[in-house]
Structure 1
Amino acid sequence: MADKHGADKHGAEKHIDEISGVETTGHEWDGIRELNNPMPRWWVWTFYATIVWGIGYMIAYPAWPMLTEATRGVLGYSGRADVARDLEAAKAAQVVYVDRIASAPLADIVADPELSQFAIAGGAAAFKVNCVQCHGSGAAGSAGFPNLNDDDWVWGGSVDEIYNTIAHGIRFEGDADTHVSEMPAFDDMLQPDEIKQVSAYVVSLTGVPHDAAMVEPGQQIFADNCASCHGDDARGNREMGAPNLADAIWLKGEGEEAIANQVRAPRHGVMPAWLPRLGEPTVKQLAVFVHSLGGGE
């Protein structure tokens, strides 16, 4: 206690700030003194209330981590149980649409605005989980994987054809109905100059080759070796999985050197069959979603 002369009971002199008239704590840094302003009473009581609230919360709800689980709390609340209930409620709300999708032909799903909207939303969600690793988050593809937004379809772009491709995959050994195509390696069949010539011809279909003189002999080489799959006009053959070479869309690389490399030693992609993994309703939703991207037929 300080007496009226500003000294406490131990006789120590108390310092009073000259400007504010508030007692200081006795701490000083470079001539700056710390004022001894007490906290407002409302703040102190609020602080005490938060302590009481925290203790009550730890008693009522799961709070303290243990070796195998947290304390359960007297109210028995479980966030995981809440999430599980929400998921079950969502599934129950969706089941009517999922059942309709499972039983309806794809054409009917596309024609029904309500069902189509649900299928596109569900397919988009399934795509983000299962397909973006190869086709990208926007379905624009990555190196060696096709862009699903354009109008170039090796195996067909109708909703039924897209469904078959997703369901059974491409060159997937575990499915007897998978799409299969195999371009032979022409490295042992054609001379190096012939490979350059046919590559120049293919480039000439949509661009300008570096040597125009190579186009005519390259066209004959194409007719003798490639037209049986890609067609006389090089526009491809879906039944054989031969891509269109006259649309300026390139999957394995663009330019004469990339084409020549593909002629010498073709690279063949593999897509898994998704029907056994995801089930028919989800595959149908994926087909409707991909068909909706703008490149469908």
Structure 2
Amino acid sequence: MSKKHKMADEDYPTTGHEWDGIREYDKPMPRWWLWTFFATIIFSLAYVIAYPAVPLIKGATPGLLGYSSRAQLQRSLDSVALENAEIEQLLLATPLENIAKNPSLVRYASAGGGAVFRTYCAQCHGAGAQGATGYPNLQDDDWLWGGDLAALEQTIQHGIRSDADEDTRYSEMPKFGEFLEEAQIEQLVEYLRQISGQDYLAETSANAEVLFADNCAACHGQNGEGNHEQGAPNLKDALWLYGGDRDALRHSIANARFGVMPAWNTRITPAQIRQVTFYVHQLGGGE
């Protein structure tokens, strides 16, 4: 059997290109490369026929196998929902204050509530619920609208100043810069720093108690202890939603604050609302 002759470079035709003595040979592609290339073409044609592939005006070609990643995901979600149906019904039927007495409900509410929080709440309140300027810290005991389970559930369901919900919690602080003089605002700033235990200018705050009683006490309380019914913050502690320095206080008094939280009763299920209510309450804050 004769051995196949291996061609030398000089035996191949050239493309006619030559530069500095270097010629470009017209060599055929290796057979393994060609077969691999043809196989990819055949595979792509089979894929286009079998699976959704070609984009159309409203969707894509369904493919002979009728596969859909959305349908597969929905089947998985339906399967999980079916498995959790019994404990979910128990969660909805159990009073919020009794969930902690059932270990199975505690595990279900904590795990589900954590998932809901990380999906919908962490963007504003932080991954650890530590809050930020303008977004409440959910780990402390300083709650504008109350931090017990019932108050938390109502806040999550209906939001704060949410135009989309008729039952939303609502209050609005006046812009005192529109009818108080700058000197009076400065007096209130120093008075707030005084009652919250910060350094203050005694001469400026000396006559501010009457000013506070006339303009602020109706919402914040005679001593500045706050009011859950109106969402008025406690002004005597060291916790400030928008900051307790002079510039922040001056801006709050003159221009007011108007934070908004969306209502979640149309975005997540009743069971998820209960889960995230329990989750937030057991983070360490709450009342």
Q: Structure 2-normalised TM-score? A: 0.76
Name the residue aligned to 1:207.
198
Report matched runs for 1:8-27 at 5 Å.
16=10, 23=12, 25=14, 27=17
Report matched runs for 1:167-246 at 5 Å.
167-172=157-162, 178-187=168-177, 190-204=180-194, 205-209=196-200, 211-223=201-213, 225-246=215-236
Report matched runs for 1:98-177 at 5 Å.
98-128=88-118, 130-131=120-121, 134-135=124-125, 139-172=129-162
User: What is the root-mean-square deviation in Å for CA atoms of aligned residues?
Assistant: 3.6
Mapped pair 1:60 → 2:63 = no
* Distance verdict in 2 for CA 1:277–1:85, change over 3 Å: closer
Query: 2:9–2:25: 8 Å Cα contact kept in structure 1?
Result: no
Q: Paired residues, what number?
A: 280
Aligned sequence identity (%): 45
Query: 1:24–1:33: 8 Å Cα contact kept in structure 2?
Result: no
Letter in structure 1 aligned against 2:233: P
**Structure 1 runs of 4+ off > 6 angstroms?**
none
Q: Radius of gyration: which is bigger?
A: 1
Specify every segment of 5 or more residues in structure 2 that has no aligned partner in the other structure, as ranges. Answer: none
Letter in structure 2 aligned against 1:213: E
Greater RCO structure (CA 8 Å; 6+ sep): 2
Specify every segment of 5 or more residues in structure 1 that has no aligned partner in the other structure, as ranges. Answer: 7-13, 17-21
Question: What's the secondary structure of 1:213's corresponding residue?
Answer: helix
Q: Structure 1-normalised TM-score? A: 0.74
Name the residue aligned to 1:32.
22
- Shift of residue 235, structure 1, vs aligned partner: 2.8
- Shift of residue 140, structure 1, vs aligned partner: 4.3
Distance 1:282 1:98 in 2: 9
* Distance verdict in 2 for CA 1:59–1:227, change over 3 Å: closer
